[in-house]
Structure 1
Amino acid sequence: MGQVLWVCAGGWKCCGCVLVAGTGTIAFARSRSGKSARSAGWGPLFLDAGSGYDIAQRTLAAVARAADGRGPATALSGAVARHLGLGDTAALMGWAYGQEGWAAIAALAPLALEAAGAGDAVARKLVAEAAAGLLTSASAAAKAAGLLDSGEPFPLVLSGSLLSRESSLCAAVVEGIHKQMPLASVIFPSVDAAIGAALLAIANRDDLGP
């Protein structure tokens, strides 16, 4: 599968686990013996926890609860209104139901990460829940591929727009990996997917011999 290219991109020869979080999310793992497994990646309708769409939905829900008194006040209310150019939160419902695709909704996710990094309690809880979902996906894939029971260290590559090194979500995920999967070494892609494909082709050629 294409996801294994990211393991190559991280500098390992097609062995390890990759966790991707952007608009959607997916985890893929492969052992040295070639056993592979995936987790998540079902799409927005299946509530892929930790995806951009999932985080954005939680953000919208938090803003709605704050607006009508069902939840605590949050900096997300002002952040979302400013980002969308809305006069007030009341206009948010019309905007949300007027979107035809997933991407426009998912684009709100970085606002939650920024608010969490700035200390907003509601956003911090939201990011913690998203990180827990991503960790569950990575752990499930790694376990199914046999990485967790091998007793050997393995790379866990973090990729995608929401898992950049500086994001609050990335920090929470890395902390969770160290606690839950101590054999995993967190790395970030050192090359892009196209170069990863070339590395995979070279590796396969070398395995076949001259």
Structure 2
Amino acid sequence: MTARLYAAADGGNSKTDVVVGDSDGRILSRVTGPTISPHVLSFEGALAQLSALVAQARREASLPPSIELSHLAVYTAGADLPIEVDRLNTEISALALAATTTVDNDLFALLRAGTATPDAVGVVCGAGINAAGRRADGATSRFPALGQRSGDWGGGQHLAALALYHAIRSEDGRGPATALEPAVRDHFGLPTVEAVTIALHLGDLPESRLDELCEVMFAVATAGDELATRVVRRLTDEIESLVRVSAKRLDLLEAPYTIVLGGGVLTARHPMLHDDLMPRLHALSPRATVNVLSSPPVAGAALLALDALHGGPCPPALESAVRAAL
């Protein structure tokens, strides 16, 4: 039987990975490009970017135009609300990039990358923060994930913004003194935090460099600064809350399920965060297994595409081949 072909995309807030593979577990190409999140690009921009990346992945896999993909699996940031997921499914299907299409939030690719077990809760803490869960019977748990307006707290960009916020308030006296003040100005090599703020405002410092202050926050907290430590502890509280609420919604708190932790902030395993979080999660759900993601989320998207082609979980040998290739 001829192997069937698929494309799988994992789209985060800053970049997108796309792979082309086959039903025998081979990965034929992998490309990386800009985000396909409709929250960043608009729906029209997201569709155009996805089409371009799939076309690039097809070229790198040496697929002629006459060869049809059997399935396209797209898991992306910005597919948070049911109405967004439904619209993306409809509009991506209409692109006719493959015979069948699956579209959902990128957290489900993270979950599949982290575990094959059907009962699982995943938390991503990278640029932003979100959580989702799934259960063997198909039930899921989600959050709107629309930023602070939907109750979100945390993520690397938020911690970076808080580092600057507390540093300038320390400098001008509106807030408590904190070692974030000298750390922020020294990080950018400017004489004051106010100068850093103005440089970011005027574009003399690219806005993207503000994200660097997330690591500054962790470094200052690790050195013992009280205010920075409170921020990191608050992030730990938030991640624990996301797991607790997700697992409770799915009646998994007392069950043997898997907790998957992903995103750059969590996979960095900062000791102040990681070493506090692990015992909290074990106390929350003593029968749960905690996995810090080691495979790229696009591996989860590829495995979900393979699951679709096989009509259920793909054979373990194929799963191992995909994980090794990616």
Provide TM-score, normalisation by structure 2: 0.56
Report the secondary structure of 1:183's partner residue: coil
Partner of 1:27, secondary structure, is strand
Percent identity, please: 29
* Alignment partner of 1:146 is 2:251: yes
Which of 77, 80, 88 does residue 181 from structure 2 map onto?
77
Aligned twin of 2:115: 11
CA distance in 2, matches of 1:34, 1:97: 47
Aligned residue type for 2:156:
G
Structure 1 87/143 Cα, relative in aligned 2: closer, same or farther at 3 Å?
A: same
Match in the other structure for 1:193:
297
Report the residue type matching 2:194 in the other structure. A
- How far off its partner does 1:163 sit? 0.6
Structure-2 separation of matches of 1:56 and 1:138: 23
SS of 1:39's equivalent in the other structure is coil
Question: Counterpart in 2 of 1:180?
Answer: 284
Match of 1:22 among 98, 112, 126: 126
Displacement of 1:162 in angstroms is 0.7
For structure 2, list consecutive stretches of 5 or more residues without a partner in the other structure: 1-103, 315-326
* Contact map agreement 1:162 1:170 (CA 8 A) in 2: no
Q: Which structure would you say has the larger Rg? A: 2
Amino acid corresponding to residue 82 of structure 1 in structure 2 = D
Question: CA separation of 1:11/1:79 partners in 2, compared to 1, >3 Å: closer, same or farther?
Answer: same
For residue 164 of structure 1, what is the aligned residue in structure 2? Answer: 267
CA distance 1:27–1:98, change in 2 (3 Å):
farther
1:42 aligns with 2:146: yes
CA contact (8 A) 1:18 1:157 kept: yes
Aligned partners of 1:58, 1:110: CA distance in 2, in Å? 12
Pick from 223, 241, 253 the counterpart of residue 136 of structure 1.
Answer: 241
User: What corresponds to 1:88 in structure 2?
Assistant: 192
- The CA deviation at 1:116 is 1.4
2:62 corresponding residue in structure 1: none
Question: In structure 2, do the counterparts of structure 1 residues 97 and 184 end up closer, same or farther at CA, with 3 Å as the change threshold?
Answer: farther
Q: Is the 8 A contact 1:63 1:77 kept in 2?
A: yes
Q: How many pairs are equivalent? A: 207
Q: State the Cα distance separating 1:40 from its structure 2 match.
A: 5.5
Q: 3-state SS of the aligned residue for 1:163?
A: helix
Contact map agreement 2:115 2:258 (CA 8 A) in 1: no
Distance 1:78 1:208, change over 3 A: closer
Residue ranges of structure 1 left out of the alignment (5+ in a row):
none
1:5·1:193 contact (CA, 8 Å) conserved in 2? yes
- Describe the SS at the equivalent of 1:19: strand
What is the root-mean-square deviation in Å for CA atoms of aligned residues?
2.7
Is contact 1:117–1:124 with CA below 8 Å preserved after alignment? yes
Partner of 1:125: 230
- Describe the shift of the 1:105–1:46 C-alpha distance in structure 2 as closer, same or farther (beyond 3 A): farther
Q: Which residue of 2 aligns with 1:63?
A: 167
Opposite residue 120 of structure 2, the aligned amino acid is G
Structure having the larger proportion of residues in strand:
2
Shift of 1:187: 0.5
